[in-house]
Every structure is written in C-alpha cells, then in structure tokens.
Amino acid sequence: MSASTKSGYHHGDLRASLLTTAMRMLEAGEQFSLRAVAREAGVSATAPYRHFADRDALESALAAQGLRDLKADLAQGRELPESAEDLAELAVAYVGFALRRPALFRLMFGNACDTGSEERVRAAAEIHDVVRLAMTRVFPETASEALASAGWALAHGLAYLHLDGKLPAQSDDAVAEQVRAAFAAVLSARPR
C-alpha cells in the first residue's frame, strides 16, 4: 500500500479513493469488482463495504459522478441558450462527453436509474433540469417537458450512434458538424 493511499484512507476519504480507483479502472476498460477496486486502492477486501453495499451501489455512485461531470461539461463556458444554435452546442457537448468517456457514458445510461440511490436520482434530475430549462428558454411557448425529452433523445441517440460506429466521422469537428446539422434540421422543420 502506498503512503498516499494509507494517508488518504486515514484522513477519511476512503469513499473518494474507491470511486477514483473504480473510475480509472472503468475508463481503462478493466473489469472491476469491489474486491478488485479494494486491491487496486490498497485497502482490505472488506473496506469498500463501508460505503457500498455491492457492485451495483458502486456503479450507481460512478454514474452519479458521471452525470455531475456531464452537467459541468454542458455548463462549461456557456450562458443559458438563447437560440436553436445554442441548443445544438449543448448537444455537441453531450455527444463529445460520450465520445471522450464511452465506458462511463454506457454505465450512466446502460441500465435503469437506481431509484434507491438518492445521489444518482438527484444527478439525473439535474441533467433533465438543464435540458428542460434550455428548451424552455429558447421555445417558451412549447410544452417544455415534451420538448426537453425530445431534445435529450436526439442528443442521446446521436451519442450512441457515434459510439456504436453507425455515424462514423473522421474527427471531433466532423462529429460536431453532424450534431449541429441534425439539431438544425429538427428544430427548423415546419409542418406543411
């Protein structure tokens, strides 16, 4: 066990250390269990159970952190959207997050939200609130819940289509342009 792990453990940040270790393992493509995370963090095999009942609880905590990271990416350097183009930029950030952190993104959205994890439920609600607020600001006369769901679905679908190689692009710029074009097409469409 390294000195920093020992000292971190004794300072009461075992949960943070376990999450950092699990996140690194997840994003490196390593298989992880509570035992493997404990071993990698340099603590006893039973130490993680002080903070996580099981692997699902650890995954919910990782998903909650991922949702908070996604929210930070969506807010980074942006004011609230004022136009359809601004909404498209939120979608570009969303898809960019998915492509930069694919294992985490899949963990965040690959299964139903653990309603027993207050942390994860709150983090997911905050993402929904960001999308709803953005849509409401740009389209104040429209049903905000339905439009927020539609906007999120479009961004989320584009993220998965890119992750799964169904919408190949040669560069980050090409991905961004595809996302902008999809949002422009949907948000500017008019009924006949």
Q: How far is CA 134 from CA 7, 66, 190, in A?
A: 43, 20, 21
Instruction: Inform me whether the pLDDT recorded for 9 exceeds 70.
Output: no
- For residues 33-62, one letter each, b for 16 or more C-beta atoms within 10 angstroms of the residue's C-beta and e for the rest, the string is ebebbbebbbbeeebbeebbeebebbbbbb
Taking the model in full, what pTM does it have? 0.88
97 in the same domain as 42: no
| Pair (101, 184) in one structural domain | yes
Domain carrying residue 98: 55-188
Region 134-150 average pLDDT: 87
pLDDT tens digits, 63-79 = 999 999 999 999 998 88
Q: Is the dihedral of CA 145, 149, 154, 155 positive or negative?
A: positive
**44 lies in the same domain as 72:** no
Same domain, 32 and 114: no
Q: How confident is the model at residue 192 (pLDDT cuts 50, 70, 90)?
A: low
* 102 shares its domain with 143: yes
Phi, psi (rounded to 5 degrees) for 113: -65, 130
Confidence of residue 1 (pLDDT cuts 50, 70, 90): very low
Q: Do residue 114 and residue 183 come from a single domain?
A: yes
Question: Which strand (E) or helix (H) includes residue 169?
Answer: none
Same domain, 7 and 67: no
Same domain, 35 and 95: no
CATH code, domain with 64: 1.10.357.10
Examine the domain organization and report whether 111 and 142 are in the same domain.
yes
Q: Among the three residues 27, 50, 73, which one is the final residue of a domain in this structure?
A: 50
The two tokens of residue 22 are: 């699990």
Q: Are residues 10 and 64 in the same domain?
A: no
Report which of 56, 61, 69 is spatially closest to residue 118, judged by C-alpha positions: 61
The count of domains in the chain is 2
